[in-house]
């Protein structure tokens, strides 16, 4: 057994944003085990102050290019709740469709291009293109459909243009939606092949009990609004998010850590699956069974598997939504009006990586206080707790093996460091 | 891969990585680019790191003193440095905070822990190193990126328009959004995006930066005639243009 071991991964690759892993084992004792967030802080909450309410979603979408639609949608919901705006059914469907596009895009990128190289034993998607071009081509093909879906609804792949307070400024044509629907249906073979690929891969068998948190809604695998629920039991209105996320600062990171009923908790695809699996599309249920994912799973490496299940769910969900929208006929409606110019509201959505909250106070049309809680910030404490359990179990490993399993662990969470770094707020509103 | 292909590298400073995402999109539809260059660094997508490159694309703004060292190292290595997107080109949305006092901004977000974090104003990278070309936009335009790379590979500088977004609305026959009771920064903003926002019913927010010699006074007047008060005008222009407007006010 190695008594002394140091891991220092400077700027973990194949994750979004900059982070370091630092582990120090001396004489068989773990003295340091940190995931350092070194991304430059960007101060979005302070930048929101004084913004006209209808500009907030355009600003916050720029928190993260990969979760832009989720940030925009969450921001719009916070404003709408503050000002008493009631969006139409069509608006709700179009938003959900756009969000499905983003979840698909992000999950496909993560599973097929960032995680798959680890599972297939190559250094990156660039090397994968040399050893297994079909896997890369398939991923690109699916990713293109997802990006184009966002483009049709939002006006472009990232940073949606058309989404506004109360509705949309532009509507997709029936033809554009029909052609999208055909492409999504044609994607099913690629989905089957992706499930098969992941089925053939061996994921590390690491387990640790923890708390899992996600949004919850009756009769629906919830992505927008709803209430907050936990594997420890309980149901909370969104307005009580602070008692759940319970953020606190730690010295080594620009992102805040969160704890709820245990020392840490997990949000994201695995948490959603565990809490809402009974509401998955039947085809997604079948994928979960094929992949051996069960609701009692507590292996963080299985997050990638839960993402594959959600890729199936969101593809089928998008097809169903497009059908519903087309059946109703697309109406070029004006955005729903604001009933007042001051108020306070909390918006919440499930981003690809977990629950995202925006909380605004608006005074005379301008944002006067803002707090945003980002999924990765909620996961950080849990990632570190996993690392602290994992390292002592692997003291026989070489430094390279240890580095590899820690990097894979961090990557499994799909951390969005751009998103989380600056999104820390200790100010109460 | 042959060693004669130009080696290109991507770097990220403070930004949202949306421009890099758009680069990935462009490579998907323009695979000829992948055959023409060798990508040696792209942290978001690959683990391999190679410090031998000729062309550097930089996404994100300068936001802290330690960025200067990193920028300088890239400048020392690369023959061509390109600012990728509004954050690198203008300071982007990051510069919104420059209008607030830095100490207030830090303590609003980090409370009493504020002093732990190194930070300063958000600025364009060209304030620190010489930049050979810029690709504007938040995010960049895919097709413009592809054209720009092709020009650079042929030894030319990219052809980025100097005329305002309004020209592109006319060309596309998009009705002026002012006629629909909306406001727009198209008259002072550099074209090249195909006036994408107005074509989706939203006024231009100025993400591609100012045209040379913009008539700011006249646009301010039009905006106020259309019901925007001084605060709203400042917020609208400040989303992407904080640094450029501060500079032009200094000259005026
Ligand atoms: S310019 Fe816009 S899209 Fe590009 S990195 Fe900056 S915020 Fe993101
Ligand atoms: S219309 Fe304006 S804000 Fe929109 S992309 Fe073009 S320059 Fe940027
Ligand atoms: Ni993100």
pLDDT in tens, A185-200: 999 999 999 999 999 9
State whether the beta carbon of B21 lies less than 6 angstroms from ligand 1. no
Would residue B158 count as lying in a domain?
no
B160, part of any domain: no
Q: Which of residues 63-102 of B touch A (CB under 8 A)?
A: 63-64, 67, 92-94, 96-97, 100
Supply the DSSP symbol for A256.
Answer: -
Residues B170 and B64 in one domain: no
Q: Looking at the CA of A372, name the nearest ligand.
A: 3
Q: Is residue B53 in some structural domain?
A: yes
CB-based contact, A425 to chain B, within 8 Å: yes
Ligand 1 lined by B18 (C-beta under 6 Å):
yes
**Which of B153, B176, B192 is a domain's end point?**
B153
User: Has residue A423 got a pLDDT over 60?
Assistant: no
Q: In the predicted model, what is the mean pLDDT of residues A78-101? A: 98
pLDDT of A33 reads 80
The CA A17 to ligand 1 mean position distance, Å, reads 13
Strands (E), A185-237: 211-216, 227-230, 235-236
Subunit contact A13:B47, Cβ cutoff 8 A: yes
Please, which pLDDT band fits residue A58 given cuts at 50, 70 and 90? very high
What is the distance between the alpha carbons of residues B141 and B26, in angstroms, rounded to a whole number? 9
> 3-class DSSP state for residue B62?
strand
Tell me which residue of A6, A8, A16 sits closest to A255, measured CA to CA. A16
Is residue B87 lining ligand 1, measured as CB closer than 6 Å?
yes
The last residue of a domain, from among B153, B186, B214: B153
Confidence of residue B251 (pLDDT cuts 50, 70, 90): low
- Of residues A114 and A9, more confidence is placed in A114
Q: What is the ipTM of this complex?
A: 0.93
Q: Which of A152, A427, A358, A346 has its CA nearest to residue B113?
A: A427
pLDDT at B44: 65
Give the model's pLDDT for residue A404. 84
Q: What is the pLDDT of residue A425?
A: 27
Ligand nearest to the CA of A15: 3
Beta-carbon separation of B25 and A157 below 8 A: yes
> Does residue B17 sit in the same domain as residue B75?
yes
Indicate which atom in ligand 2 lies nearest the CA of residue B194.
Answer: 6
Q: Quick one: B137 and B200 in the same domain?
A: no
In this predicted structure, the answer to whether residue A418 has a pLDDT above a threshold of 60 is no
Q: What is the pLDDT of residue A241?
A: 93
Q: Nearest chain A Cα to B65, which residue?
A: A40
pTM: 0.92
Say whether A65 and B19 touch across the interface (CB within 8 A).
yes
- Label residue B162 exposed, middle or buried (CB < 10 Å: 0-12, 13-18, 19+): exposed
| Closest by Cα among A101, A35, A31 to A66 | A101
Please give the Cα distance from A224 to A217 (Å, whole number).
9
Domain match, B21 and B99 both: yes
User: Are the C-beta atoms of B13 and B125 separated by less than 8 Å?
Assistant: yes
**Cα A212 vs. chain centroid, distance in angstroms?**
14
Rounded percentage of chain A residues whose pLDDT exceeds 90 = 64
For A297, phi then psi, to 5°, come to -60, 130
Q: Which residue of A has its CA nearest to B198?
A: A161
pLDDT higher than threshold 80 for residue A252: no
Residue range of the domain that includes B81: 7-153
Q: Is B6 in the pocket of ligand 1 (CB under 6 A)?
A: no
Q: Does residue A124 surpass a pLDDT of 70? A: yes
Element (H, E) at A407: helix A399-412
Q: What are phi and psi of A281, to 5 degrees?
A: -60, 140
Tokens of B153: 């590979």
- Chain B residues touching A143 at Cβ < 8 A: 28
User: Domain coordinates of chain A in residue numbers?
Assistant: 42-400
B109 or B229, which is more confident: B229
Give tens-digit pLDDT for B30-88. 888 888 888 888 876 666 667 789 999 999 999 988 899 999 999 999 999 999 999 99
Task: Provide, for chain B, the percentages of residues in helix, strand and coil under a 3-state DSSP scheme, each rounded to the nearest 5.
Answer: 50, 15, 35
B50 to chain A, closest Cα gap in Å = 13
Looking at the structure, tell me whether residues B61 and B23 fall in a common domain.
yes
Task: Find the closest chain A residue to B86 by CA distance.
Answer: A62
| Residues near A37 by beta carbon (within 8 Å), at least 6 away in sequence | A17, A18, A19, A252, A253, A254, A255, A380, A417, A420, A421
* Same domain? B86 vs B143: yes
Contacts of B93 in chain A (CB under 8 A): 47, 59, 62
Phi, psi of A183 (to 5 degrees): -65, -35
Domain boundary among B127, B153, B179: B153
Give the pLDDT of residue A368: 95
The per-residue pLDDT for range A304-352, each reduced to its tens digit, is 999 999 999 999 999 999 999 999 999 999 999 999 999 999 999 999 9
Q: With beta carbons less than 8 A apart as the criterion, state whether A210 and A388 touch.
A: no
Report the pLDDT averaged over residues B24-34.
86
- State residue B2's pLDDT score: 45
Q: Do A157 and B67 touch (CB under 8 A)?
A: no
Residue B102 pLDDT: 63
Question: What b/e string do you get for A215-244 counting C-beta neighbours within 10 Å, with b at 16 or more?
Answer: bbeeeebbbbbbbbbbbeeeeeebeebeeb
Among B185, B189, B203, B219, name the best residue to mutate to test ligand 2's pocket (greatest count of ligand atoms within 8 A of Cβ): B189
Q: How many CA atoms lie within 13 A of A5 on its CB side?
A: 22
Nearest CA to ligand 2 atom 8: B207
User: CB within 6 Å of ligand 2 — which residues?
Assistant: B 137, 165, 189, 193, 195-197, 204-208
Question: Per 3-state DSSP, what percentage of chain A is helix, strand, and coil (rounded to 5)?
Answer: 50, 20, 30
Residue of A nearest to B46 (CA): A124
Fold of A42-400: Cytochrome-c3 Hydrogenase; chain B (1.10.645)
Q: Is B163 on the interface with A (CB under 8 A)?
A: no
B44 vs A contacts (CB less than 8 Å): 13-16
Task: Give the pLDDT score at A424.
Answer: 33
CATH number of residue B38's parent domain = 3.40.50.700
pLDDT band, residue A30 (cuts 50/70/90): confident
Q: What pLDDT, on the 0 to 100 scale, is given for residue A121? A: 84
Overall average pLDDT of the A127-156 stretch: 93
Mean of all residue pLDDT scores within chain B: 89
- Residue A429: which of A60, A57, A82, A166 has the closest Cα? A82
- Report the distance separating Cα A318 and Cα A187, nearest Å: 12
Q: Are residues B192 and B140 in the same domain?
A: no
Per DSSP, the three-state class of A223 is: coil
Residue A427 host element (H or E)? none
Q: Is the CB–ligand 1 distance for residue A62 below 6 Å? A: yes
Q: Would you give the distance in Å from CA A350 to the centre of its chain? A: 6
CA dihedral (A313, A318, A321, A322) in degrees, to 10, reads -150
Chain A and chain B share a number of CB contacts under 8 A equal to 163
Most informative mutation of B22, B85, B86, B206 for ligand 2 (most atoms within 8 A of CB):
B206
Identify whether residues B64 and B27 lie together within a single domain: yes
Q: Is B15 in the pocket of ligand 1 (CB under 6 A)?
A: yes
Q: Once rounded to an integer, what is the mean pLDDT over residues B117-132?
A: 88
Q: Per-residue pLDDT averaged across B17-22, rounded?
A: 92
Is B1 contained in some domain?
Answer: no
Lowest average pLDDT, out of A31-40, B18-27, B99-108, B180-189, goes to: B99-108
User: In chain B, how many domains are there?
Assistant: 2
pLDDT digits (tens, 9 = 90+) for A281-300: 999 999 999 999 999 999 99
Verify that B53 and B145 share a domain, yes or no.
yes
**What pLDDT, on the 0 to 100 scale, is given for residue A119?**
87
């Amino acid at each position: 057994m190695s008594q002394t071991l140091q891991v220092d991964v400077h700027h973990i690759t194949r994750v979004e944003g900059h982070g370091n892993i630092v582990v120090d084992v001396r004489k068989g004792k773990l003295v340091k085990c940190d995931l350092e967030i070194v991304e430059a802080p960007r101060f979005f909450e302070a930048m929101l102050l004084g913004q006209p309410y209808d500009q907030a979603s355009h600003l916050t979408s720029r928190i993260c290019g990969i979760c832009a639609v989720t940030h925009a949608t969450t921001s719009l919901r916070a404003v709408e709740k503050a000002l008493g705006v009631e969006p139409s059914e069509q608006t709700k469907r179009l938003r959900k469709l756009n969000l499905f596009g983003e979840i698909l895009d992000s999950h496909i990128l993560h599973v097929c291009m960032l995680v798959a190289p680890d599972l297939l034993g190559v250094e990156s998607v660039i090397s994968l293109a040399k050893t297994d071009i079909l896997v890369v081509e398939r991923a690109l093909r699916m990713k293109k459909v997802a990006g184009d879906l966002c483009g049709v609804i939002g006006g472009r792949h990232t940073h949606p243009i058309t989404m506004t307070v109360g509705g949309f400024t532009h509507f997709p044509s029936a033809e554009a939606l029909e052609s999208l629907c055909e492409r999504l249906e044609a994607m099913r073979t690629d989905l089957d092949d992706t499930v098969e690929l992941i089925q053939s891969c061996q994921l590390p068998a690491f387990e640790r009990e923890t708390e899992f948190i996600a949004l919850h809604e009756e009769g629906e695998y919830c992505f927008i609004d709803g209430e907050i629920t936990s594997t420890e039991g309980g149901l909370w209105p969104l307005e009580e998010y602070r008692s759940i996320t319970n953020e606190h600062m730690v010295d080594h990171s620009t992102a805040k850590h969160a704890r709820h009923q245990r020392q840490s908790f997990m949000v994201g695809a695995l948490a959603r699956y565990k809490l809402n699996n009974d509401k998955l599309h039947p085809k997604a249920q079948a994928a979960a069974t094929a992949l051996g994912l069960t609701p009692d799973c507590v292996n963080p490496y299985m997050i990638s598997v839960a993402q594959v299940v959600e890729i199936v769910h969101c593809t089928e969900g998008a097809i169903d939504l497009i059908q519903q929208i087309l059946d109703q006929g697309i109406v070029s409606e004006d955005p729903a009006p604001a009933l007042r110019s001051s108020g306070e509201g909390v918006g919440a959505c499930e981003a690809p990586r977990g629950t995202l909250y925006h909380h605004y106070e608006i005074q005379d049309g301008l944002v006067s206080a803002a707090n945003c809680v980002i999924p990765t910030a909620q996961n950080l404490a849990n990632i570190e707790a996993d690392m602290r359990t994992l390292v002592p179990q692997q003291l026989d490993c070489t430094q390279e093996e240890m580095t590899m399993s820690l990097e894979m662990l961090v990557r499994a969470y799909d951390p969005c460091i751009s998103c989380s770094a600056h999104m820390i707020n200790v100010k109460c509103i | 891969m042959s060693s004669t292909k130009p080696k290109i590298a991507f770097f990220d400073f403070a930004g949202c990585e949306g421009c890099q995402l758009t680069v990935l999109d462009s490579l998907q539809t323009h695979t000829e680019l992948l055959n023409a260059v060798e990508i040696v660094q792209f942290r978001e997508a690959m683990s391999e790191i190679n410090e031998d490159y000729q062309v550097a694309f930089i996404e994100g703004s300068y936001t802290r003193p330690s960025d200067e060292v990193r920028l300088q190292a890239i400048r020392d290595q690369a023959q061509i440095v390109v600012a990728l997107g509004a954050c690198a080109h203008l300071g982007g949305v990051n510069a919104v905070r420059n209008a607030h006092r830095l100490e207030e901004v830090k303590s609003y977000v980090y409370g009493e822990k504020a002093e732990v974090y190194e930070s300063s104003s958000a600025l364009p990278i060209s304030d620190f190193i010489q930049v050979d070309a810029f690709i504007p936009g938040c995010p960049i335009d895919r097709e413009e990126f592809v054209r720009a790379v092709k020009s650079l590979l042929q030894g030319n500088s990219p052809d980025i328009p100097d005329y305002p977004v309004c020209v592109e609305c006319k060309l596309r026959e998009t009705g002026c959004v002012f006629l629909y009771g909306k406001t727009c920064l198209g008259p002072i903003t550099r074209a090249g995006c195909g006036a994408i926002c107005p074509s989706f019913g939203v006024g231009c927010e100025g993400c591609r930066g100012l045209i040379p010699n913009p008539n700011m006074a006249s646009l301010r007047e039009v905006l106020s005639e259309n019901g925007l008060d001084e605060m709203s005008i400042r917020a609208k222009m400040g989303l992407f243009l904080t640094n450029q407007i501060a500079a032009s006010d200094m000259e005026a």
